[in-house]
Amino acid sequence: LSPTETYRSNGTFGPELWDPTAIAMDQRHHLWVVTRTGRQIEIVKPDGTPATFSPIHTGLNVDFDQEPLEPISALSFCPPNVMCVSSGSSQRIYRYDAATGAPLPSIELSFQPSGLACDKMGHIFALENGSSRWHVLSYLGIEMLGSPLGIEHTAEDIAVLHDGSRVFISDRSTNGVQCWRGAIEGYRVRYWQESDLPAVDVGWARIASSRSDYVYVPHSQRGAITIFNRSGKPVEYLLGGQPGLNAPRDIAVSATGDSLYVIESTGSGPTHILQWIKKDL
């Protein structure tokens, strides 16, 4: 995002959705949206129409048995071609072939995951449900040496830079965003906590990062979104729009960073994805 660029509201995108709670984009620019208050995943193609394998209601456990996902906590695209999904009622991460929606064997865990994020190497960063402790797993689900990390707060979501060098956690205990810096060295992780991002009133919103290493923080209580660069400096604020930002809940970023897709906290009822596109000032 150069000094001469910003994002402008581009109206709504895709079909009407009921009670969306989380959103992510895969490698083919399909949007995966948790709807029906966590009871299903709807997949929207780049032209705004539903994918042929949408919606998804079940996942595979390690015994290859199908089981319901409800309630779905979060989802994150894991390179090169897997969508990872967490469910608040189980100690596993469900996985899907992002191109076909076909369920893959789940990853069994020793904790209940909530927020999920992945770096460019396919490492999975998973929050513990009801905590701000976080785990780092290999692409195959093996926990890294030095994991878990974190402090005894309550967190909502987790995001990671594309190269895994920084981890961001929306902290419900402080209503802010934790920042951790470090690296993955072989099968060992080394991270330390830095100063929080200068973000307040994050509320119940989820956070996201882009391949260009920008971090997007919705402020659900303020009707705004702050964009930070990889160093934690705010570079843009998104407000208003048509339809306007009221209580942004989650955001998905296109691979090029040219488009943003925002879902709002609606309580109960139908709504649409809000689209913002990059433009010159």
User: What are the residue ranges in the chain where pLDDT is below 50?
Assistant: none
Peptide bond into 71 cis (omega under 30): yes
Predicted pLDDT at 239: 93
Q: What is the CATH number of the domain that holds 90?
A: 2.120.10.30
What's the DSSP call for residue 51? P
Q: Within a domain: residue 12? A: no
Kind and range of the H or E element at 67?
strand 66-68
Are 4 and 281 a contacting pair, CB within 8 Å? yes
pLDDT for res 170: 94
Phi, psi of 44 (to 5 degrees): -115, 125
Task: Measure the CA–CA gap between 228 and 216, rounded to whole angstroms.
Answer: 7
pLDDT, position 87: 87
Q: What is the pLDDT of residue 281?
A: 62
Q: Can you give the length of the chain in residues?
A: 281
Supply the pLDDT for residue 37: 80
pLDDT at 221: 84
The answer to whether the CB of 245 falls within 8 A of the CB of 225 is yes
Q: How many domains does the chain have?
A: 1
Kindly state whether residue 256 falls inside one of the protein's structural domains. Answer: no
Please give the pLDDT value at position 38: 87
| Residue 130 included in any domain | yes
pLDDT digit string (tens) for 173-195? 998 999 999 999 999 999 999 99
Reported as a single tens digit per residue, the pLDDT across 42-78 is 999 999 999 999 999 999 988 899 999 878 999 999 9
- By residue range, what is the domain housing residue 162? 20-238
In a domain, 243, yes or no: no
Contacts of 260 (CB under 8 A, 6+ apart): 7, 216, 225, 238, 251, 252, 253, 254, 275, 276, 277
What whole-number distance in Å separates Cα of residue 127 and Cα of residue 117? 9
Sign, CA torsion 269/129/162/51: negative
CB-facing half-sphere around the CA of 114: CA atoms within 13 A: 18
Judge whether 7 lies within some domain. no
Residue 89: the pLDDT is: 77
Residue 220 belongs to a domain: yes
Tokens describing residue 41: 């995943």
| Residue 2: count of CB within 10 angstroms of its CB | 9
